[in-house]
Copies of this chain bind each other. A is one copy, B any other.
Amino acid sequence: MRATLLRRHFSSSTYTLPPTIRQLLAPAAVGKGSQTATSTNEDADVTVTGWVKSVRRQKRVSFAVISDGTTSAGLQAVFPNSSLLPKELSNGASVKLTGRLGKSPGAGQEKELLVEDVKILGSCDPEAYPIQKQALSHEFLRDNVHLRARTASIAAMLRIRHALQRELSSYFEQQGFLHVHTPILTSNDAEGAGETFKLAKTAEKEPTPASTPLPEHHDEFFGRPAHLTVSAQLHLEAFQAAMGRVWTLSPTFRAERSQTSRHLSEFWMLEAEWGDLPVGVAGNDHTSGVRGICTFVEGMLRAAVSNALLVPGSKEDIDVSWVSSMDEKSELQKKRRQELEKAILNEERWKIMTYGEAILALEEEYARQLREGGVQFEFKPGWGKSLQSEHEKWLAEVFVGGPVFVTDYPVDLKPFYMRLNEADGDRQTVACFDLLVPGIGELVGGSVREEREEVLLRRMKESGLWDEEKGLGDYEWYMDLRRYGGSPHVGFGMGFERLISWVGGIENVRECVPMPRWAGRLLL
């Protein structure tokens, strides 16, 4: 009873902002908007604040499209008397319009605003404004990163990010997961991989007399070197061992100098760790070990992307992002878009193959290329070798034509925490998978975690994490998770920008993040 009262109180207009353009334009039948949105078919008096996206001045009547950032479509504003239109009503200007929102007689929009009053909140010099109507290059917009969200394509990308994050959160909530804020600063240098950012040393606060011996790391703020995290996984495992099902969407960092369309220095990673696998239907072999994780990941992506596709407005954003990334490659892009929709909407389960099967297919393809003249693969595939980006793309794009899980990689290609399989002759693999998708390659990677204390210790020794003097040292805590009530568990990581790239059809991850950072580039 109390709950009902309160909820009514909080949805009252006292605390509620005026409806956004998205809420005003929402079809009445859907009713997804806020309580105050005028989502009926009746005409209504409304006030709208937004930015001018285009103006069409005609002799008597004029038109403008107004955006408040909440929807790709924008609001069609009709000015019945062109002579009263302020000169400052130009592309980029901020305006406040009051009028009647009603059914539009024109094609292209359901509703339009018949404007009764115009107020210019902030003008925008058409000569100087960098965001002109004509198409602007990605590079130009990266240089103007503080203004680029004003373009239709970057705005659509930001709304796709938002929608996917919301739907992913909702999926994890339904599945009983806890969201954990894993730390950014860490003493872990990612096994000395050399691609971690390190904090600069700081001066001590109090100068020490010269006679006093200085402790080691006295000039480090934390008393030891501090790094930016490259993955939340090990930390997340500590929370898994107490909270059962945990996930995070967290910034991660790599001091990677190579300039590719798939790498950023600062990027967001979705990571999850949990103990139980999906409840299987009888006779389904997708319910144990690696296949169970793949089932979960497939369910997560299908639910999040299809819900984002189906929520009013989101589909339109995805359309905008695909259009803006289509140039001369549009035929290929159309094919990719169809593959995406098929992967998400068709009921047919995604393909799963082992690394061994993938290598066989790649070797056959390599042989075929040789036979038919001219090898297209730069790297010759073979058992024990890493799958190169060209191999991953070929598997997803050509061999399967959709997402494909590749499982059970050789132990030497994967980190120490992945669970060792039974050896097959001299072929020793781990219980892991990579999810490969067209246009991207690796989107998700995960594994069963090694829960057996003695096997883990051996693997850590093999990986050089054990020291004659210090033992496991900084990794001792990780072993504690196995010592005290350790239990079988699994997990995965997904690059969030790669997901945006896949769903939005966006070529480069630099256009998949609000403010991209890469080697040599740090604006704002």
State the A residues within 8 Å of B (CB).
2-3, 6-7, 9-10, 13-20, 22-23, 34-36, 49-52, 68-70, 92-94, 121-125, 128-131, 145-147, 149-150, 155, 158-159, 161-162, 165-166, 169, 173-176, 178-188, 197-202, 205, 221-224, 226, 228, 234-235, 238-239, 241-245, 251, 253, 255, 257, 265-266, 268, 274-281, 284, 286, 295-296, 298-300, 302-303, 306-307, 310, 345, 347, 451, 477-478, 480-488, 513-515, 517, 519-524
Contacts and interface: CB of A to CB of B under 8 A. Distances in A.
Nearest to A205: B257
A10 B179 contact: no
Given A158-B178, A181-B251, 6 more contacts: A18-B279, A20-B176, A36-B279, A51-B485, A161-B179, A477-B523
A472 to B, nearest CB: 13
Contact of A150 (B166, B201, B242, B521): B242
A62 to B, nearest CB: 19
Given A165-B179, A279-B13, A198 B197 contact: no
B243 A155 contact: yes
A306 B4 CA distance: 11
A42 B119 CA distance: 63
A124 B485 contact: yes
Contact of A122 (B122, B482, B517): B482
Contacts of A276: 17-18, 49
A386 B179 CA distance: 37
Contacts of A175: 16-17, 34
A155 B242 CA distance: 8
Given A6-B310, A94-B487, A146-B481, A279 B17 contact: yes
A178 B480 CA distance: 41
Given A166-B173, A519-B222, A514 B239 contact: yes
B484 A268 contact: no
A226 B522 contact: yes
Contact of A187 (B94, B124, B224, B523): B523
B243 A517 contact: no
Contacts of A50: 244
Contacts of A275: 49, 68
A379 B300 CA distance: 56
Query: Among the interface residues A162, A242, A277, which one has the most CB atoms of the partner chain B within 10 A?
Result: A242
29 contacts: A6-B306, A14-B281, A14-B284, A15-B296, A15-B302, A16-B175, A16-B279, A17-B277, A51-B242, A68-B244, A70-B178, A70-B243, A70-B245, A94-B486, A125-B483, A149-B239, A162-B180, A166-B169, A169-B169, A183-B266, A187-B522, A198-B200, A221-B255, A222-B520, A223-B521, A223-B522, A226-B522, A239-B514, A477-B523
Nearest to A19: B176
A477 B266 CA distance: 21
Given A17-B277, A480-B147, A514 B181 contact: yes
Closest 10 CB pairs of A and B: A15-B299, A69-B243, A94-B487, A149-B242, A222-B522, A20-B176, A69-B244, A122-B486, A121-B487, A146-B477
A218 to B, nearest CB: 11
Contacts of A197: 199-200, 221
A10 B302 contact: yes
A283 B238 CA distance: 54
A34 B299 CA distance: 15
Query: Among the interface residues A161, A238, A486, which one has the most CB atoms of the partner chain B within 10 A?
Result: A238
Contacts of A280: 13-14
Contact of A70 (B121, B176, B251, B523): B176
B187 A159 contact: no
Contacts of A480: 146-147
A87 to B, nearest CB: 15
A176 to B, nearest CB: 4
A93 B146 contact: no
A485 B243 contact: no
A185 B266 contact: yes
A484 B147 contact: yes
Contacts of A174: 34-35
A38 to B, nearest CB: 12
Given A16-B279, A17-B296, A299-B15, A245 B69 contact: yes
